[in-house]
Chain A
Amino acid sequence: MNPNNYNTEHKPTWCPGCGDFGIWAGLKGALAKQGLSPHEFVVVYGVGCSGNMTDFVKSYGFHSLHGRAVPNAEGIKLANHELPVVVVGGDGDLLGEGSGHLAHASRGNHDLTVIIHDNRVYGLTTGQAAPTSKRGYKSKSTPQGIIEVGMNPLTLAMSQGATYVARGFAGDIPHLTGLIEEGMKHKGFSVVDVLQPCVTFNKINNYKYYRERVYKLEEKGHNSQDRYAAYKVAEQNEEEGIPIGLFYQNNDRPAYHEQELSLKEEPLVKKEVKTPANFDELLKFFK
């Protein structure tokens, strides 16, 4: 497959230079590497600039409500667990409105790959602070600087049981492509947080900011089986460097659908919808 096979008649509407282009390329590249035809997977999109990718990827798509892409994706996966399901959403979507769902999906280890477009600002609503904005970040909604500290999606996901936790950079597409591909292949809940410059509204966390700081965990001998080592690097002071790559992976814990009795055989949607043959037997309980 060629990544361009996933293009549609619609051209991206993102600002020139937006980090969303890099993530879009990374996603298409990961899909192509796996040889998936457009009908063989589903992408669920949140609402925001990232979610507008819905119209630019040829596949079965689901453009969710703001914050609800993860539960939509869980339902899709449980109905048809043979389909790879990817979630694309922003930090406001997945970590603001949807942070509870992210935590619970981690607990469940649902076999989904969640790509967080983490630009530390609200783009589509024209530049307010985001859950991942650094403390003190000044924006239209926080002119005195945001009082809250930035949320850490990596430690959130790891602490609640996610089994594949990675961080990529929209400015390094080959590296990001690998992380998304491995996340999709991983059987369980995968979170790929992507450092994504917003060229219009975030004047601090731009390409230059990240290029000066990012380094690859795999080049530093990080042990991704060690969750406590992963916590430590995930909490590293940004001024000393920003690690990207695979933080943590656990292959021992089965995915949610692998433990659900009703899904032991074929996917739910492949079973015929009919009155169960043992219906009368069941009624005995009520007699």
Chain B
Amino acid sequence: MIDFTWKIGGPAGFGIKTTGDMFSKVMMREGYHIFDYVEYPSLVRGGHNVTETRVSTREVFSQKKSVDVFIALNKESYDLHRKELSATSFVIYDKDQFEIKPEEVAVGVKLVAVPLRQITKDVGAEKVMENNVALGASLGLIKADLKPLFELIEEQFGRKGKEVVAENHKVAQAGYDYVREHFGDLEVAFRLVEKQEYVERCFVTGNDAVALGAIAAGCQMYIAYPMTPASSILHTLAAASSKVGMLVRHAEDEIAVINAACGAGYAGARTMIGTSGGGFSLMVEGLGLVALTETPLVIIDAQRPGPATGMPTWTGQGDLRFVLHAHQDDFPRIVLAPGDVEESYELGWKAFNYAEVYQLPVFILLDRYLSESHKSTEAVKAEGVTINRGKVVGRWEESQGQYLRYKKTDDGIAPRSFPGTPNALFTANSYEHDEYGYSTEDPQERIDQVARRNRKFEEFTKNELPEPLLYGAPDAELTLVGWGSTKGPVLQAMQAAEASFNYLHLNYLWPFPTAKVTEVLGKAKETLLVEGNHAAELGGLIRQETGINIENRYIKYDGRPFYPGEILERIRR
């Protein structure tokens, strides 16, 4: 089995992320499973960027701590990451640019000095292409085929002209040849000797997967204000908009975003908005309008550590309670938290059906880690996607009597009508309203409308809410409990030989799957809550809904994701 991590580090602004994406894609095209993870500060230039790709012959769910091939583009990168190297690691660097002293090298770590700059100069290429020398050198080290890299270079740089493509090919080839010639004898445990069976997969982040889920769902409008780590959804959809006929709009602020979306939903467009916690803070006012007018809306909150500006480019799971309770008074809402790119895609398209059938706001909670980590997957495909717009009045004849947008139906759901439809007038009203939509302060009408809106929530719970999955042996010694992106590192940890736990994964958080959680926790021999926030927000929610208090907690709020190794270590304690 092959399972190694390749990592590249260097100054911000030097195309680290692009280089990482290229390595990941090359490996994926070679038939390997990949998972990548990026770290960068909230700066455009200056500061330190790293990206790493885990390559494996079997599915990978998370990054790991130890690095097997490390490309250090400057000394700072080497110093910051040398502790991640082990006796079987290799460091590719340019000794013309900086020196690594023997005492700075751990036992067994092999230095692969490649004259990145000189090779680039010799070819007559630009400095930025040094990264491609390093890519070629990496492939030389693991003895991979260069062809997929050549193809990728052609796709990436083709529009810049044939010369640029040829130069990039040359530098990659030169890097490859240099390593084969000077380091061909090195023992590399994860040398790619056998060709993998090729399975066509997609290389997507959680953000990509949600965006693709929205496209598959026929989403007609996406409105956002840029905010890390949600911005790439805006970029991906803006790039795709002309191909799929979606209206993608960057509005002046998040207040305008949610209000324009509420207007669009009222007028009949399938609509989604996206932001991070700080942007959602501005949207909270509009959330109540969405809820009271019963306008379908999908809302993405890609979490990052807060409060206030917090740590913009790092990860955390601190918005669960926020999205559960945001806005004055209470009203039905649905909160989904996908655990990986597969769930991001699936819940991404399903969210639209939930929003339109039940006419309420549906949240998709991502976090920086899931939003920006790529995973190779076969799950993104049009097949299996269904579209259900719920009850809509296409025509209304006067003979049918007065159309009532907020009619007190048994299931709480009254058919929507869209402006322009003759005879089906109504008012969407931010005041409490009667069945037509006229403002009312009548106590009985108020009671009836609150009750009706909440009946929709009960219907959703009854008709749609799936049971959470318990991964691993049902009778394991220990049950881990987590939500959202915690899934990846936990499932990865579960593959370790020593692992003897199972994992209860919650991705539908509201309405809460009380029965199944109570059952699993009731049977569990021991439990451990694994959560990315200080307050154990899920722990509190579980206690609120089931009465069960999980005292054993692995809580992390340093802005970094969970690592499988750390989870195993915590379990051993």
Contacts and interface: CB of A to CB of B under 8 A. Distances in A.
Interface of A: 8, 10, 37-42, 44, 47, 52, 54-55, 58-65, 68, 71-80, 82-83, 100-101, 104, 260-263, 268-269, 271-276, 278-283, 286-287
A177 B418 CA distance: 28
Interface in B372-431: 380-382, 385, 387, 389, 418-431
B204 interface: yes
Contacts of B255: 68, 71, 101
Given A273-B387, A286-B204, A261 B242 contact: yes
Ranked nearest first, the 6 interchain pairs of A and B with the lowest CB-CB distance are A75-B263, A75-B260, A79-B267, A71-B259, A61-B427, A75-B264
B425 A62 contact: no
Interface in B217-268: 217-218, 220-221, 223, 240-249, 251-253, 255-257, 259-268
Contact of B267 (A38, A59, A68, A80): A80
B439 A262 contact: no
Contacts of B218: 272-276
Contacts of B423: 39
Nearest to B203: A286
Contact of B215 (A54, A75, A276, A287): A276
A34 to B, nearest CB: 16
Given A83-B420, A262-B247, 4 more contacts: A61-B427, A74-B263, A76-B419, A273-B387
B556 interface: no
Interface of B: 28-29, 200-204, 208, 212, 215-218, 220-221, 223, 240-249, 251-253, 255-257, 259-271, 285-286, 288-289, 293, 380-382, 385, 387, 389, 418-431, 437-439
A196 to B, nearest CB: 21
Contacts of A282: 212, 215, 240, 243-244
B229 to A, nearest CB: 18
A278 B428 contact: no
Contact of B262 (A8, A38, A72): A72
Contacts of A72: 259-260, 262-263, 266
A88 B472 CA distance: 59
A60 B241 contact: no
A59 B270 CA distance: 23
A254 B242 CA distance: 20
A287 B374 CA distance: 12
A283 B385 CA distance: 15
A79 B221 contact: yes
Contacts of A58: 425
Contacts of B288: 65
Please indicate which of the listed interface residues A78, A263, A280, A281 has the most CB atoms of chain B within 10 Å of its own CB. A78
A285 B293 CA distance: 38
Given A39-B423, A60-B419, A274-B218, A75 B259 contact: yes
A74 to B, nearest CB: 5
- Interface SS of chain B: helix, strand, loop or mixed? mixed
Which of the listed residues B217, B251, B260, B380 has the most CB atoms from chain A within 10 Å of its own CB?
B260
A82 B221 contact: no
A78 B265 CA distance: 11
Given A79-B221, A80-B419, A55 B439 contact: yes
Contacts of B438: 8, 10, 54-55
Contacts of B243: 276, 278, 281-282
Contacts of B387: 273-275
A64 B419 contact: no
B365 to A, nearest CB: 23
A39 B247 contact: no
A262 B425 contact: no
7 contacts: A39-B424, A63-B427, A78-B221, A100-B252, A286-B208, A286-B380, A287-B202
Nearest to A103: B252
B267 to A, nearest CB: 4
B252 A101 contact: yes
Q: Which of B221, B253, B263, B439 has the largest number of chain A CB atoms within 10 A? A: B263
A58 B389 CA distance: 27
Contacts of B431: 63
A76 B264 contact: yes
Nearest to B252: A104
A263 B267 contact: no
A111 to B, nearest CB: 14
A189 to B, nearest CB: 14
A38 B203 CA distance: 50
A42 B419 contact: yes
Contacts of B216: 275, 279
A268 B263 contact: no
Contacts of A65: 259, 285-286, 288-289, 430
A272 to B, nearest CB: 8
B428 to A, nearest CB: 5
B240 A60 contact: no
A180 B270 CA distance: 31
Contacts of B389: 273
Residue picked from A47, A72, A82, most chain B C-beta under 10 Å: A72
Contacts of B267: 42, 75-76, 79-80, 83, 269
A23 B315 CA distance: 52
Contact of A71 (B200, B244, B246, B251): B251
A171 B380 CA distance: 62
B204 A47 contact: no
A268 B220 contact: yes
A59 to B, nearest CB: 6
B427 A280 contact: no
Contacts of B261: 75
A49 B422 CA distance: 29
A279 B428 contact: no
A251 B271 CA distance: 31
A63 B221 contact: no
Nearest to A82: B420
A162 to B, nearest CB: 15
A269 B418 contact: yes
B263 A278 contact: no
Contacts of B428: 61-63
A275 B385 CA distance: 8
A43 to B, nearest CB: 9
Nearest to A13: B439
Contacts of B247: 78, 260, 262-263, 268
Given A63-B431, A80-B418, A100-B253, A283 B289 contact: no
Contacts of B385: 275
A63 B266 CA distance: 12
B430 A262 contact: no
Given A62-B263, A73-B263, A83-B420, A268 B427 contact: no
Nearest to B204: A286
Nearest to B431: A63
Contacts of B203: 286-287
B107 to A, nearest CB: 41
B260 A71 contact: yes
Contacts of A40: 420
A279 B215 contact: yes
Nearest to B200: A287
Nearest to A273: B218
Nearest to B220: A268
A3 to B, nearest CB: 17
A77 to B, nearest CB: 8
A104 B225 CA distance: 14
A283 B268 contact: no
Contacts of A60: 419-420, 425-427
Contacts of A273: 217-218, 220, 270, 387, 389
B517 to A, nearest CB: 33
